[in-house]
Amino acid sequence: QPDPASPTYESDRLQRSALKSATAGVAGAALTNPLDVIRNEQFKTHAGFRDTTRQLWNELGLGFLGRGLGKNMVAVALPVGCTIFFTEALIQWSQDHHFFGPSSATEKNNDSSNEETTASTTLKHK
């Protein structure tokens, strides 16, 4: 977790976000790759899931799980990682610049002043 008191806090947050995003993109692409291989083979053969999986297993063994993984990293991991990173960066930027409304500190102050107003109004009416 980046230290908010650090002078490099902002860049530390971005670096951490980039690492998390890249990891998520690569993991997602690697985990879904075997299903992409099966689906693409089904398009070619018009066979069912089970038959296609058996055929790939008989032809390539475990190797079918990694078939086309490099291309899948470019086609899936890169866009997914970028989407996650830019979304998180935008959220961090908007929170830092209070882009989407008052900060949480202001909301807490408003909440406590509303409670005080409600308490004083209740006392006046008693």
pLDDT in tens, 81-115: 999 999 999 998 888 887 766 555 555 555 555 55
Residue ranges in 1-126 assigned as alpha helix (H) = 9-45, 49-60, 69-72, 78-96, 104-125
Which tokens belong to 72?
A: 């899948």
Residue with tokens 């470019």: 74
CA–CA distance, 42 with 50 (Å, rounded to integer): 10
Confidence of residue 5 (pLDDT cuts 50, 70, 90): confident
Which tokens belong to 31?
A: 């985990």
- pTM, two decimals, is 0.66
- Taking phi over 0 as left and psi of -120 to 50 as alpha, with beta for the rest, 101 belongs to left
